[in-house]
């Protein structure tokens, strides 16, 4: 089953976004989780905008002690762009199974070799109910755009486990005086590893002086 998902996702990636790619993401709001020490994960996703642009990313990341190192490689069609996104997340407390998780993270996005943005934030995740079927993710930090100005970054997301194989998601990300982005969707788990899953997400963004953008995303997440 895992091999089928990998082959299907690769085929979609080649057909839909070849020859160019772009940046995007299944989830907007980060949690405090990191890759298991000594292991790696691969998160990839395709994002199709209503206006016709296609974007895509693949992000391998590995855990070294409490620190996760990642490097995102992406691109965009119409117009064609290539992207890189190195990132580091340091987990100070693991909240995956109990209590409150807490981590510090930073990342920088490059477009055609030029820096277009940097994020620095704290990420937290915790259970709302005793059974931890309803989980909350919270991000607080700052983002720096091309103009060099730093602005507040705030994100809130909720994930509800309907069954052990299906979770529903809703989240919102605010950038002070710039934009509001909302997403909702589902994550389907498969295989023996809890890190293997497929995402189906729809979203929209409102930015100052720009028309509202809408998109649909399919993502594949693997742990190894």
Count of CB atoms within 10 A of residue 55's CB? 25
Secondary structure letter of residue 35 according to DSSP: P
Nearest by Cα to 157 from 189, 131, 187, 124: 124
Residue with the bigger pLDDT between 109 and 2: it is: 109
Mean pLDDT of 150-162: 97
Give the chain's domain count. Answer: 1
Q: What are the pLDDT digits (tens) for 11-22?
A: 333 333 333 333
Question: How does pLDDT run across 46-99, given as a tens digit for each residue?
Answer: 999 988 889 999 999 999 999 999 999 999 987 788 999 999 999 999 999 999
**pLDDT value of position 118:** 96
**Among candidate residues 26, 5, 25, 9, the one with its CA nearest the CA of residue 169:** 26
Residue 51 CA to residue 63 CA, distance in Å, equals 37
Give me the domain span that covers residue 94.
2-223
Token digits for 139?
């991000």
**pLDDT at residue 195 in the model:** 73
193, two tokens: 């590893």
Cα dihedral 28, 167, 200, 93, rounded to 10, equals 30
Give the side-chain half-sphere CA count within 13 A for 97.
Answer: 1
Specify the CATH number for the domain of residue 11: 2.40.160.40
Tokens linked to 102: 């807490």
Judged against a pLDDT cut of 80, whether residue 161 lies above it is answered with yes
pLDDT at 193: 66
Q: CA 51 to CA 218: how far, in whole Å?
A: 17
CA distance 57 to 19: 13
User: Percent of the chain scored above 90 by pLDDT?
Assistant: 75
Residue 112: pLDDT over 50: yes
What's the confidence (pLDDT) of residue 93?
A: 98
> Which tokens belong to 114?
């030029």
First to last CA, the chain: 15
């Amino acid at each position: 089953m895992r091999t089928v998902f990998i082959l299907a996702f690769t085929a979609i990636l080649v057909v839909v976004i070849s020859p160019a790619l772009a940046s995007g993401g299944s989830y907007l709001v980060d949690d405090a989780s990191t890759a298991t020490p000594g292991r790696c994960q691969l998160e990839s996703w395709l994002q199709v905008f209503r206006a016709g642009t296609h974007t895509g990313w693949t992000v391998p990341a590995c855990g070294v002690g409490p620190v996760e190192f990642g490097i995102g490689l992406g691109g965009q069609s119409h117009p064609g762009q290539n992207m890189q996104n190195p990132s580091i997340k340091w987990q100070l407390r693991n909240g995956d199974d109990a209590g409150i998780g807490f981590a510090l993270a930073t990342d920088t996005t490059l477009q055609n070799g030029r820096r277009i943005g940097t994020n620095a934030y704290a990420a937290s995740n915790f259970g709302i109910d005793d059974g931890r079927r309803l989980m909350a993710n919270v991000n607080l930090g700052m983002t720096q755009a091309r103009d060099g100005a730093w602005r507040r970054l705030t994100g809130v997301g909720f994930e509800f486990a309907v069954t052990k194989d299906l979770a529903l998601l809703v989240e919102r990300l605010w950038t002070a005086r710039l934009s509001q982005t909302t997403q909702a969707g589902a994550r389907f788990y498969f295989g023996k590893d809890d890190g293997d899953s497929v995402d189906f997400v729809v979203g929209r963004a409102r930015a100052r002086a720009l028309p509202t953008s809408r998109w649909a995303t399919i993502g594949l997440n693997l742990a190894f």
